[in-house]
Chains A and B, each alone.
Chain A
Amino acid sequence: MTQAFDAFHQQALLETRANTALALARSLGADACEVGASVDQGVGVSVREGEVETVELSRDQGIAVTVYIGARKGSASSTDASDASIRVVVEKALAIARHTGEDPASGLADAELMASELPDLDVHHPWELTTEAAIDMALACEAAGREVAGIKSSDGASLSSGEGVRVYANSHGFLGSQRGSRHSLSCMLIAEDGSGMQRDYDYTTARDPRHLLAPEQVGASAAERTLRRLGAGRPATGRLPVLFDPSLASGLVGSLMGAIAGGALYRQASFLCDRLGDALFPEWFSLFERPMEVGAMASSPFDNDGVQTRDNVFIENGRLASYMLSAYSARRLGMQSTGNAGGARNLRIDAPLASRDELLARMGRGVLVTELMGQGVNAVTGDYSRGAAGFWVEDGKIQYPVEEFTIAGNLEAMLKGLVGVGSDTDTRGSIHTGSWLIDEMTIAGG
Chain B
Amino acid sequence: MTSTAPHLPSQVQSQSSARDHDLLGQASEILLSPGGLGIDDLDAGLAHALGPGIDYADLYFQRSWHEGWVLEDGEVKEASYNIDGGVGVRSMAGEKTGFAYSNQISGEALAETGRTASGIVRTGKQLGVAPRLVVTSDSRYGGIDPLSGLSAEDKIAMLKLADRVARAADPSVSQVSASLSGVHEVVLVRASDGTLAADIRPLVRFNVSVIAVRNGRRERGSAGGGGRFAMARLRDENVAETYAREAVRQALVNLEAVDAPAGQLPVVLGPGWPGILLHEAVGHGLEGDFNRKGSSAFAGRMGQRVAAPGVTVVDDATLADRRGSMSIDDEGTPGQYTPLIEDGILTGYMQDKLNARLMGMAPTGNARRESFAHLPMPRMTNTCMLAGQDDPADILKSVKRGLYAVSFGGGQVDITSGKFVFSASEAYLIEDGRITAPVKGATLIGNGPEAMGRVSMIGHDMELDTGIGVCGKEGQGVPVGVGQPTLKLDELTIGGTQS
Closest chain-A Cβ to B288's Cβ sits at a distance in Å of: 15
Q: Are B443 and A385 neighbours in the complex by a CB distance under 8 Å?
A: yes
Interface range on chain A (Cβ under 8 Å from partner): 35 or more
Residue of B nearest to A238 (CB): B499
Q: A59-B102, A408-B497 are in contact. Are A96 and B417 (CB under 8 A)?
A: no
Residue of B nearest to A52 (CB): B96
Q: Are A103 and B79 neighbours in the complex by a CB distance under 8 Å?
A: no
Once A and B bind, how many residue pairs between them come within 8 Å at the CB atom? 244
Q: Chain B interface: which of A204-212, A351-359, A438-446? A: A438-446
A392-411 vs B, Cβ < 8 Å mask (1 yes, 0 no): 00000000000111111110
Is there a chain A Cβ closer than 8 Å to B99's Cβ? Answer: yes
Q: Are B152 and A442 neighbours in the complex by a CB distance under 8 Å?
A: no
Q: Which residues of B contact A404 (CB under 8 A)?
A: 419, 445-447, 493
Q: Are A197 and B416 neighbours in the complex by a CB distance under 8 Å?
A: yes
Is there a chain B Cβ closer than 8 Å to A283's Cβ? Answer: no
Is there a chain B Cβ closer than 8 Å to A16's Cβ? Answer: no
Q: Are B81 and A155 neighbours in the complex by a CB distance under 8 Å?
A: no
Q: Are A61 and B103 neighbours in the complex by a CB distance under 8 Å?
A: yes
Is there a chain A Cβ closer than 8 Å to B11's Cβ? Answer: no
Is there a chain B Cβ closer than 8 Å to A262's Cβ? Answer: no
Q: Which residues of A contact B97 (CB under 8 A)?
A: 53-55
Is there a chain B Cβ closer than 8 Å to A223's Cβ? Answer: no
Residue of B nearest to A89 (CB): B83
Q: Is the interface of A mostly helix, strand, loop or mixed?
A: strand
Is there a chain B Cβ closer than 8 Å to A381's Cβ? Answer: yes
- Interchain CA distance A406-B83 in the complex, whole Å: 42
Of A85, A238, A378, A443, the most chain B CB neighbours within 10 A belong to A378
Q: Which residues of B contact A445 (CB under 8 A)?
A: 493
Q: Chain A interface: which of B130-138, B344-352, B404-412, B477-485? A: B404-412
Query: A79 is contacted by which of B86, B152, B174 (Cβ under 8 Å)?
Result: B86
Q: Are A373 and B416 neighbours in the complex by a CB distance under 8 Å?
A: no
Is there a chain B Cβ closer than 8 Å to A290's Cβ? Answer: no
Query: A444 is contacted by which of B100, B447, B499 (Cβ under 8 Å)?
Result: B499
Q: Are B96 and A198 neighbours in the complex by a CB distance under 8 Å?
A: no
- Interchain CA distance A60-B84 in the complex, whole Å: 11
Q: Chain A interface: which of B70-78, B187-195, B226-234? A: B70-78
Residue of B nearest to A389 (CB): B419
Q: Are B78 and A56 neighbours in the complex by a CB distance under 8 Å?
A: no
Q: A75-B80, A408-B262 are in contact. Are A269 and B443 (CB under 8 A)?
A: no
Q: Chain A interface: which of B17-25, B211-219, B382-390? A: B211-219
Q: Are A58 and B373 neighbours in the complex by a CB distance under 8 Å?
A: yes
Q: Are B417 and A446 neighbours in the complex by a CB distance under 8 Å?
A: no
Is there a chain B Cβ closer than 8 Å to A335's Cβ? Answer: no
Q: A268-B175, A446-B264 are in contact. Are A1 and B120 (CB under 8 A)?
A: yes
Is there a chain B Cβ closer than 8 Å to A383's Cβ? Answer: yes
Is there a chain A Cβ closer than 8 Å to B339's Cβ? Answer: no
- Interchain CA distance A54-B443 in the complex, whole Å: 36
- Interchain CA distance A374-B498 in the complex, whole Å: 20
Is there a chain B Cβ closer than 8 Å to A102's Cβ? Answer: yes
Q: Are A155 and B95 neighbours in the complex by a CB distance under 8 Å?
A: no
Is there a chain B Cβ closer than 8 Å to A100's Cβ? Answer: yes
Q: A99-B153, A373-B445 are in contact. Are A75 and B220 (CB under 8 A)?
A: no
Query: A442 is contacted by which of B100, B156, B264, B496 (Cβ under 8 Å)?
Result: B496
Closest chain-B Cβ to A44's Cβ sits at a distance in Å of: 9
Query: B83 is contacted by which of A59, A77, A273 (Cβ under 8 Å)?
Result: A77
Is there a chain B Cβ closer than 8 Å to A179's Cβ? Answer: no
Quick one: which of A330-356 are within 8 Å of B by CB?
Answer: none
Q: Are B423 and A76 neighbours in the complex by a CB distance under 8 Å?
A: no
A363-398 vs B, Cβ < 8 Å mask (1 yes, 0 no): 000000000011110101101011101000000000
Query: B373 is contacted by which of A60, A229, A375 (Cβ under 8 Å)?
Result: A60
Residue of B nearest to A445 (CB): B493
Of B72, B410, B499, the most chain A CB neighbours within 10 A belong to B499
- Interchain CA distance A92-B445 in the complex, whole Å: 46
Q: Are B218 and A56 neighbours in the complex by a CB distance under 8 Å?
A: no
Is there a chain A Cβ closer than 8 Å to B116's Cβ? Answer: yes
Q: Are B495 and A387 neighbours in the complex by a CB distance under 8 Å?
A: yes
- Interchain CA distance A403-B419 in the complex, whole Å: 8
Q: Are A374 and B423 neighbours in the complex by a CB distance under 8 Å?
A: yes
- Interchain CA distance A168-B147 in the complex, whole Å: 30
- Interchain CA distance A96-B79 in the complex, whole Å: 7
Q: Are A406 and B443 neighbours in the complex by a CB distance under 8 Å?
A: yes
10 A-B residue contacts at CB 8 Å?
Answer: A60-B373, A73-B78, A79-B103, A96-B152, A99-B156, A155-B293, A380-B211, A408-B495, A442-B498, A444-B495
